[in-house]
Structure 1
Amino acid sequence: MAIDLGLFLSDQHPPGRPPAEGVREHLEQVAAARELGYTSIWAGQHFLSQPFAMYQSIPMLARVAAEAEGMTVGAGVLLLTLLNPLEVAENVATLDAICDGRFVLGVGFGYRDVENAAFGISTGRVATFEAKLDVVRRLLAGERVTARGEGYVLTDAELALRSERPPPIWMAANGDRAVQRAARLSDAWLVNPHTRLDELERQVGLFHAARAEAGLAPVTRMPVIKEICVAETDEAALAAARPYLEGKYDAYVAWGQSDVLPEGDTLRRAFAELTAGGRFVIGSPQTCAAILAEHVARLGVDHIICRAQWPGMPQEHVLRTLRLLAHEVAPRLGP
């Protein structure tokens, strides 16, 4: 089985850094990934992202697409619960045209109280998310849609801009019920980078069982996002990653990310324990290949989306990881 490599742009930066510098850095990463044979580029979404400064994904992906000709471009993910579904559908149709039909719509439920409050979402979040997803899917499929929800009223609405085929919808999920929701409502589960491998393996079983129970065909893609740092030795990789990855996960705990993990897992751990169990991929090419090979064998992964930078990490570390991952890690994972 051929393994695709993707690059997840870690578009969060320390506050006070000139914003244009980060954009130039990401464009350099995209150019390097394309040259190295990566097949996809991704960016995520958060609002009120303190303590980090963060770019919004729709304009970032539109700019990135100009440097990513021939590559898949994906939103990983849009926080659909918070957004107007008509605007999402129109933006996605535009991005799919910019990307010549190679756009993937990643969607997520969201988990941060500050974001929910800012957008006036307090109760009924699951129903809101599923209703908005239904509207987006039907609009992108070319249907006329009549629907009403918080912040939108559509009467026989139809997109004038449509692709020949609707972009695939991949759904992020952390907890078990969210994984089962992804099985029912999406074309693929966009496997998160926060959970230990043993828990992911258990959840993959839940995912496939939920699809079968819903009468759906098996998925054709199994993508996973991973935090990855590759260097010549394990020690060098850990030294490069720890100052930045540790700060990123301290922020995740403060945001509430740990609270939506599977019941048996937590991010409230010392760093050495946090890195264990296949959660992160840090080390020499041999070490990283062994960790990723386990993901391929145990989860059926066929698309590894690499997040190789965290706020403040120097660009040379990122480019080294991208190069070593392509040249020395990926060839060990199969044809």
Structure 2
Amino acid sequence: MDLGVILGDVHSTLSPREHLDGLLRQVEAAQRNGVRYIVMGHHYIYGNLRWLQPIPTLARIAAELDPGVKIGTMVVQVPLFHPVALAEELATLDILTRGNLIVGAGAGYRREEFAAFGVDFDRRFAMMDEALQIIRLMWTQDEVDFHGRFWRLDRVKTHIRPWQDPHPPIWIGALKDSGVRRSARLGDAWPVTPETRTDDMHRMFGVYAAARHKHGRPPVARHPLRREIVPGATTEDAFRRFESMARERLLAYAQRELDTRDATALTERFRQVAAAEAIVGTPDDCLGQLRALAAQVPVDPVIVRAQWPDMTADDVVAYLDDLGRDIVPGMREIVSIDARTMVAPSAMASTSPTGEVR
């Protein structure tokens, strides 16, 4: 099982120089400690926090990559781009990374971002569906003819193909069953959110497998998982560490438009929420939880967030050093189950509930 790191936001009071220096220190420490995936999210107009734009930032980080380290978006908000522009920018990034790019794609969830771009928030899923179709065509065809609901291309000649053949893997984010079906139809893996419970994961992987089968697409063995891993000398130390790292940021997420977390629970029962959403404890405890998870659901890599807004660059490096010393060697010995050995798609297809994806 591999470890990945997702790069995040910082307070806007941090100078651009300090931001860049800290980012590069984090990338160096991550790779030195055995991290094999470095990914980055995507937001605009983020208030008193600075979120660097992922495509140019990842292009800069590509110059620092060790052999075999993957880099990616997780996830880029597809409806906020013209699909031709996004296809060409991502194909360029794949070339700059020598074919080590993973494209994580999503529909977005913050209305204010869509309002700023003049994009209809309620059409974002339909727009993403159509855009991903165009992007695949731009990556694989010499000439694209496409007449859709939102975009029209008349015999457009393509000129930038990705390094990877036929294209970089596409991870499509989703929170509910309808989105998981979309991910299965249009993408190559489903990146699981940290708040998704293990029993829900197991069922939703069945939904994914059934949709792949329905559309005649090959099964996917394993999927990436966003989940924090926080080791400490004692269990109490580990929970204190996680609370100091993440509590305020998780509260901010709960108070935004992403309604997958309960702000009251985070305030009054943080440890209970953390135990359900994160892997926290002594190094042996953390590895035990990872082994138990890998025996139940087909996840790999596990992607953590090393840097939270209130952490210093030294804090981030110390955390990554702890993972590299105490967690990564043990993770490499863990092999997650293969999704192809789970419940048959036909059995899951008749029992999967539907729901609006967010």
Common topology (TM > 0.5): yes
Change (3 A) 1:143 1:220: farther
Following TM superposition, the consecutive aligned residue runs of length 4 or more in structure 1 with deviations greater than 6 angstroms are none
Which residue does 1:322 correspond to in 2? 320
The reply on whether 1:30 has 2:27 as its aligned counterpart is yes
Shift of 1:149: 6.1
Give yes or no for contact 2:194–2:226 (8 Å, CA) kept in 1: yes
Task: Give the match's secondary structure for 1:257.
Answer: coil
Which residue does 2:154 correspond to in 1? 155
Where structure 2 has 5 or more consecutive residues not aligned to the other structure, the ranges are 335-358
- The code of the aligned residue for 1:114 comes to E
Shift of 1:57: 0.5
Give yes or no for contact 2:72–2:104 (8 Å, CA) kept in 1: yes
**Match of residue 16, structure 2, among 5, 19, 26:** 19
Give yes or no for contact 1:4–1:302 (8 Å, CA) kept in 2: yes
- The code of the aligned residue for 2:16 comes to P
Which residue does 2:173 correspond to in 1? 172
Q: Distance in 2 between matches of 1:127 and 1:114?
A: 19
Could you give the per-residue CA deviations for residues 178-222 of structure 1, whole angstroms, max 9, x where no partner exists?
112111111011111232333223322222222223222111441
CA RMSD of aligned residues (A): 2.1
Change (3 A) 1:266 1:186: farther
Which residue does 2:4 correspond to in 1? 6
Could you give the per-residue CA deviations for residues 95-151 of structure 1, whole angstroms, max 9, x where no partner exists?
111110111111011111111212222232221110011011111123422335687
Shift of 1:268: 4.8
Task: Give the match's secondary structure for 2:191.
Answer: strand
- The code of the aligned residue for 2:199 comes to D
Q: Distance in 1 between matches of 2:140 and 2:317?
A: 38
Could you give the per-residue CA deviations for residues 276-334 of structure 1, whole angstroms, max 9, x where no partner exists?
22x11233212221222232121111211121221111233322332232332233342
Which residue does 2:352 correspond to in 1? none
Which residue does 2:95 correspond to in 1? 97
What percentage of aligned pairs have identical amino acids? 33
- The code of the aligned residue for 1:253 comes to A
Give yes or no for contact 2:130–2:150 (8 Å, CA) kept in 1: no
The number of residue pairs the alignment matches comes to 326
Give yes or no for contact 2:145–2:153 (8 Å, CA) kept in 1: yes
**Match of residue 285, structure 1, among 283, 286, 296:** 283
Mean Cα deviation higher: 201-210 or 37-46: 201-210
Change (3 A) 1:193 1:51: farther
Which residue does 1:132 correspond to in 2? 131
Shift of 1:80: 0.2
- The code of the aligned residue for 1:144 comes to E
Give yes or no for contact 2:45–2:113 (8 Å, CA) kept in 1: yes
Give yes or no for contact 1:85–1:132 (8 Å, CA) kept in 2: yes
Give yes or no for contact 1:267–1:274 (8 Å, CA) kept in 2: no
Which residue does 1:60 correspond to in 2? 57
Q: How does 1:257-276 map to 2 (within 5 A)?
A: 257-258=258-259, 261=260, 266=262, 268-270=264-266, 271-276=270-275
Normalised to the residue count of structure 2, the TM-score between the two structures is 0.84
Which residue does 1:43 correspond to in 2? 40
Q: Distance in 2 between matches of 1:191 and 1:180?
A: 13
Q: Distance in 2 between matches of 1:118 and 1:202?
A: 37
Q: Distance in 2 between matches of 1:326 and 1:204?
A: 30
Give yes or no for contact 1:229–1:308 (8 Å, CA) kept in 2: no
Q: Distance in 1 between matches of 2:97 and 2:258?
A: 31
Task: Give the match's secondary structure for 1:223.
Answer: strand
Task: Give the match's secondary structure for 2:115.
Answer: helix
Give yes or no for contact 1:222–1:302 (8 Å, CA) kept in 2: yes
Shift of 1:224: 0.9
Shift of 1:248: 1.0
Task: Give the match's secondary structure for 1:276.
Answer: helix
Give yes or no for contact 2:226–2:304 (8 Å, CA) kept in 1: yes
Q: Distance in 2 between matches of 1:313 and 1:194?
A: 22
Q: Distance in 1 between matches of 2:16 and 2:101?
A: 26
